[in-house]
A and B are shown apart, each in its own frame.
Chain A
Amino acid sequence: MADDAAFDSIVRETIAASIRRRGAVPTIAQVASDIGSDAPTVGASFDRMIAAHVFIPRRESSEIYSYNPFCAEPTDFRVRSDGREWWALCGWDALGIPAALGAAGTVETSCADCGDRIVIDVDRDGTAVSNGGAVLNIGVRAVDFWTDIHFT
C-alpha cells in the first residue's frame, strides 16, 4: 500500500538518523519514540523491510541485527570512523562503514586463516591500505547471498 511505503520510508530515514546521532542501530521502541508512533506499528514496518531484505533481523525477532553495514552488536570486524566505534558482519560491510558515514576509518579484524591481525585504513575517498596485505573471500555466489544471510 502507498501508505505503508510512505511510512516505511520515514522509518528507514529515522533508523539512518538514529545511527548517525546515537552511533548505534536503534530498536523498534527507539524508532517508535523518535517518530511518535507505537511499537506494533513500527514493528509491522520492520517486518515489511525484513521481507524486502532491507536489513538482517535478529533470529526469531523483528529487531535489527544488521542495518548493513552497521551491526547492532560487537563482531570480529571493528571499525573506527567519524569519532566512534562500530561493528560489521563481514569484510564487505566493514569497508562500507566509512563510506556510509562519509568519513575516513580504520578496520580491525584478523586473518580467518592464520589469525594474524589485519588493519585497514580507509580514506574519505574510499582508498584502502592494509598493514601487510588483505583480500576478501566471497563465500557464496551472489545469487545465494540471501539464502542463509546469517551464514553469508
Chain B
Amino acid sequence: MRLFRSEEHAGRSRRGDSSQVITLDQAARLARAWYVKKLAPGWRRHTVEEAEALFAQLGFDKDFWRLR
C-alpha cells in the first residue's frame, strides 16, 4: 500500500485493475480507526463485520473492500 504524490502518479504505476486509490484524508481516518487501540490493554482484532462497517463508514467501494 504505497503513497503517491497524486492520483495521476498512482495511475501510472497501477498494475491491472485490482487496486484502488483513496485520499489522504480517507487513509488517515482509516489508519486512526484501525490502530488507535492497538497498544491498549484488551486490544483484539476487528471482526469481519466491524471492519466492513468501518470501510462502509469511510465511503469505500463495497466490492473492493468486502472481506468475505
Q: Which residues of A contact B (CB under 8 A)?
A: 12-13, 16-17, 19-20, 52-54, 68-69, 77, 90-97, 99-102, 109, 111-114, 116, 118, 120, 122, 126-128, 130, 132-144, 152
A76 to B34, CA, bound (A): 21
A-B contact count (CB 8 A): 161
A134 to B34, CA, bound (A): 20
22 A–B contacts from the bound complex (CB under 8 Å): A69-B38, A90-B2, A95-B28, A99-B31, A99-B32, A100-B38, A109-B3, A113-B13, A114-B5, A114-B9, A126-B28, A128-B25, A135-B4, A135-B6, A136-B2, A136-B21, A137-B2, A138-B21, A138-B64, A139-B15, A141-B18, A142-B66
Q: What DSSP secondary structure best describes chain B's contact surface?
A: mixed
By the criterion CB–CB under 8 Å, are A90 and B1 in contact?
A: yes
- Measured CB to CB, the closest approach of chain B to A63, in angstroms, equals 19
Contact residues in B for A118 (Cβ distance below 8 Å): 3, 5
By the criterion CB–CB under 8 Å, are A126 and B29 in contact?
A: yes
By the criterion CB–CB under 8 Å, are B18 and A137 in contact?
A: no
- Measured CB to CB, the closest approach of chain B to A132, in angstroms, equals 7
Q: A97-B35, A135-B3, A135-B21 provided; 12 other pairs, C-beta below 8 A?
A: A16-B39, A68-B38, A92-B27, A92-B30, A100-B38, A112-B4, A118-B3, A126-B28, A136-B4, A136-B24, A137-B4, A143-B67
Interface centre among B39, B55, B67 (most CB of A within 10 A): B39
